Amino acid sequence: MKFICEVVILSLSIIVIQSSITFSRELGSPNHIKTTTFYTKTFVLEPGKVSRQTFFDVEFPRGHVGIKNLQAELVDEHGNSIPLYEAYLHHYFVLRYFENITMSQHANKSQPNYGKYFKRNDGACQTFVNSISWGLGVDARRTSTELPDPFRVEVGTHPEDVPKEYDEEKWLINILVIDTRGVEDKKGCSQCRCDLLDVKSKDLTNTTGVDGTPLPSDYKGGIFCCEKKSQCKLQQGYNEKQKRKVAIKYTISWVEWDQQQVPLKFYILDVTDQVTYNGSEPIHHCAVEYSINPEKTDEGHYHIKKTNIPMTKGGSLIYITAHVHSGIVNATLYGEDGRRLCEIKPIYGTGKEAGNEEGYAVGASGCYPKPGSMKIKDGENLTVEFIHENKYTTGLMGHFYVYLAEDLPKSL
């Protein structure tokens, strides 16, 4: 429930400091794919400060449409990309929700989610964990989420599992950004190290992790230490407190829905998911993040994290990529019989410019199997494996993003 809790908290203090710099650009293309760029409201960064917030009811293509791609990044108030070593985009999440306006008008501060119904993706983590439709972080600029034609994520219809009285489809964007200008340890601040953020374990607001189990008593870093108002340790004597206005820029490619479009299911497979069974029914326990503490492991050069996740419903693999963090070596998705379904390689930056920052995993590769050539059976038990450098790392994530078609058109 972490995410929803955060939505609750954030909506209490909807940020109205800045003017919106929302504008958009539409480009037509011969096959009717439209591309529009949107911006969230601006928000303010300050050296060392953590910024966490949710933008409700953001701009999005309306009507019955199929989304082909959504790419996002952090930009300054003039729309210029900001490099990761100045402002680390820990994550952005795009989440779909439905609202009953009559009900939400009656919401009050103690129940700001009243009147909203959050719609998760097709993945199976418990409750609303990993429920987003799109979202990446450090890897946002170079990881493609582009779906091949004619496959789309279908939106603008009322899903059967959303109660009827929640009738208006809306979208929210949740972000966590750490301004690392002037900090003592850029890598540590990016990994939300509790000591650098001056959060003592007794001060943690949550003592339970996302999966409901207690946080380890030696929890050293991760999302629970990147609190909304945290300040990461600055270099001694650094006192340039320049504020900076920024925004999330997001570009969406989509088509009006018609018979030619093929809908996909979207699953996030989390390497921290520990599946237990109640009879044959799988119960998921996704922790979202994990840490590597080499003193405790002893696996040599690599840290290997692996789990088995059963897919209740199968289909044809159309596109696969992964959300990765710096330190990643590679990630592999295997079928139950051991066949390799997809191997993901990171893209590491080699320069200074945004999208190519040296030392950061700025993206991940993807797999586009020929539609119909690679299938997952109903109930198939997949294996997810993430290999990292065996170095002290906190707040690490390993999530496969899997797009499946349940029915392929005969023409393919």
Nearer to ligand NAG among residue 172 and residue 264 (C-beta): 172
CA distance 59 to 400: 27
- Residue written as token pair 């108030």: 77
**Smallest separation (angstroms) from ligand NAG to the CB of 251:** 31
CA dihedral 102, 106, 112, 117 (to 10 degrees): -30
- By CB under 6 A, the residues from 134 to 173 that bind ligand NAG are 165, 167
Stretch of residues binding ligand NAG (CB under 6 A), selected from 105-113, 151-159, 315-323, 394-402: 105-113
Residue 177 has a CB neighbour count (10 Å cut-off) of 24
The verdict on 23 binding ligand NAG (CB under 6 A) reads no
Q: Which of 221, 140, 169 is nearest to 401 (CA)?
A: 140
Instruction: Please list the residues that pair with 208 across neighbouring strands.
Output: 214
Judged by CB under 6 A, the residue of 329, 348, 375, 408 near ligand NAG is 329
32 Ramachandran zone, left/alpha/beta (phi>0; psi -120 to 50): left
Nearer to ligand NAG, 103 or 408 (CB): 103
Establish if 278 lies at the interface with ligand NAG (CB under 6 A).
Answer: yes
Least distance (Å) between residue 343 CB and ligand NAG: 4
Residue 43 C-beta: closest distance to ligand NAG, Å: 22
Query: Interface with ligand NAG includes 377 (CB under 6 A)?
Result: no
276 lies in the site for ligand NAG, by CB under 6 A: no
Binding to ligand NAG, residues 33-62 (CB under 6 A): none
Footprint of ligand NAG on 334-353 (CB under 6 A): 343
204 binds ligand NAG (CB under 6 A): no
Instruction: Determine which residue in the list 114, 157, 195, 214 makes contact with ligand NAG, applying CB under 6 A.
Output: 114
Between the alpha carbon of residue 407 and those of residues 68, 108, 157, 265, 390, the distances in Å are: 18, 44, 19, 11, 41
Indicate which single residue of 381, 389, 406, 408 sits in contact with ligand NAG (rule: CB under 6 A): 381
Query: Applying CB under 6 A, which of residues 18, 113, 144, 308 lies at the interface with ligand NAG?
Result: 308
Q: Which residues of 287-297 are buried (b: 16+ CB within 10 A; e: fewer)?
A: bbbbbbeeeee
Q: How far is the CB of 41 from ligand NAG (least distance, A)?
A: 25
The phi and psi torsions of 177 (rounded to 5 degrees) equal: -125, 140
Give the Å distances, CA to CA, from 353 to 7, 83, 348, 364. 33, 6, 13, 18
**Alpha helices in 246-368, H assignment, sequence order:** none
Q: Give the interface with ligand NAG as residue ranges (CB under 6 A).
A: 1-2, 5, 100, 102-103, 106-108, 110-111, 114, 165, 167, 206, 208-210, 278-279, 302, 308, 310, 329-330, 332, 343, 381, 387
